[in-house]
């Protein structure tokens, strides 16, 4: 089911209570979550260090399955292709994806903060050390399979698409406890774009808050706004007060408009053999 929105493509997934095939599983011993596909773990992980600024020592395991079908060159050259809708349809149909009941956004993204696709793009395999900063997470891109070299035949073919502007986007999944992204599909396309000196175009999948959650937040925001406006009304009238009133009203409207589309925490599922 699609929600009509002026911003991202929003999927309202129903009838999939979970756990989904691709999911993060909670550790029993307080350790970091691990990624699973069905019964198969795709990562092993441990914390290193104390406090909130810890390192996540991660080993990725073979077994990742792309949720997208193989992409043909002709499909990438389709004029004005809306990859959000294509990826959404494939994600709904795949037996290897992370979708479960709730709201999800599928967003086109062409640029990222400096360093995301350079210093914080993990090129080594299978081990990685992710520095999780206090209050800021890690904020990088993590592949789920080994990266091909820039001169591999498939990458070379994608590099031509990158030069021609017809490269299909990389499918990323935003994961909240990392404050970063996993590559679900498009490892070779990412390598190709970077080899051509550009960031890869991306389609980003992210969990959104359920309606009941964002409406509770909206009520709290509205209450705070009413208190600020009440205090402002006690001040003498004048141009300065009116300007501040306009700023508060505009900020309040912007905050409410964005609440339904803010990224929500990535759920952690219990181990399969939990009672």
**What is the structure's pLDDT at 257?**
58
| C-alpha span between 210 and 198 (Å, rounded) | 35
- pTM exceeds cut of 0.95: no
174 beta partners: 181
| C-alpha span between 234 and 230 (Å, rounded) | 7
User: For the chain, what are the domain ranges?
Assistant: 9-207, 211-258
44 beta partners: 59
**What is the structure's pLDDT at 275?**
45
**What is the structure's pLDDT at 155?**
97
Write out the chain's pLDDT in tens, 275 residues. Answer: 666 555 679 999 999 998 999 999 999 888 899 999 999 999 999 998 876 678 899 999 999 999 999 888 888 877 656 899 999 999 999 999 999 999 999 999 989 999 999 999 999 999 999 988 775 678 999 999 999 999 999 999 999 999 999 999 999 999 998 999 999 999 999 999 999 999 999 999 999 987 666 566 666 766 676 677 677 677 777 776 677 767 666 766 656 556 567 889 999 999 977 64
Give the pairing type, strands 202-208 and 170-175.
parallel
Burial status of residue 172 (CB atoms within 10 A of its CB: 0-12, 13-18, 19 or more)? buried
What distances in angstroms separate CA 181 from CA 58, 61, 84, one per listed residue?
14, 17, 17
């Amino acid at each position: 089911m699609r929600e009509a929105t002026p911003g991202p493509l929003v999927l309202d997934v129903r009838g999939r209570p979970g756990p989904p095939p691709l999911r993060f599983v909670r550790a029993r011993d307080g350790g970091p979550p691990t990624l699973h596909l069905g019964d198969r773990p795709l990562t092993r992980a441990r914390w290193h260090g104390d406090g909130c600024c810890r390192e996540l020592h991660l080993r990725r395991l073979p077994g990742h399955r792309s949720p997208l079908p193989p992409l043909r060159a002709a499909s990438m050259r389709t004029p004005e292709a809306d990859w959000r809708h294509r990826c959404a349809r494939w994600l709904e149909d795949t037996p290897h994806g992370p979708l479960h009941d709730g709201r999800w956004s599928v967003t086109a993204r062409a640029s990222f903060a400096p360093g995301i696709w350079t210093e914080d793009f993990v090129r080594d395999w299978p081990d990685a050390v992710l520095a999780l900063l206090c209050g800021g997470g890690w904020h990088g891109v993590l592949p789920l399979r080994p990266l091909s070299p820039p001169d591999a035949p498939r990458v070379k073919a994608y590099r031509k698409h990158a030069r021609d502007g017809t490269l299909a986007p990389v499918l990323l999944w935003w994961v909240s406890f990392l404050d970063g992204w996993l590559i679900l599909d498009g490892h070779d396309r990412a390598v190709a774009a970077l080899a051509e000196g550009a960031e890869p175009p991306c389609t980003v999948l992210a969990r959104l808050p359920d309606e009941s959650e964002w409406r509770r937040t909206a009520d709290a925001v509205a209450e705070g706004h009413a208190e600020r406006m009440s205090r402002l009304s006690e001040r003498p009238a004048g141009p300065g007060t009116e300007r501040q009133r306009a700023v508060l009203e505009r900020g309040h409207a912007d905050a409410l408009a964005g609440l339904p589309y803010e990224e929500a925490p990535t759920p952690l599922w219990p181990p399969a053999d939990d009672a």
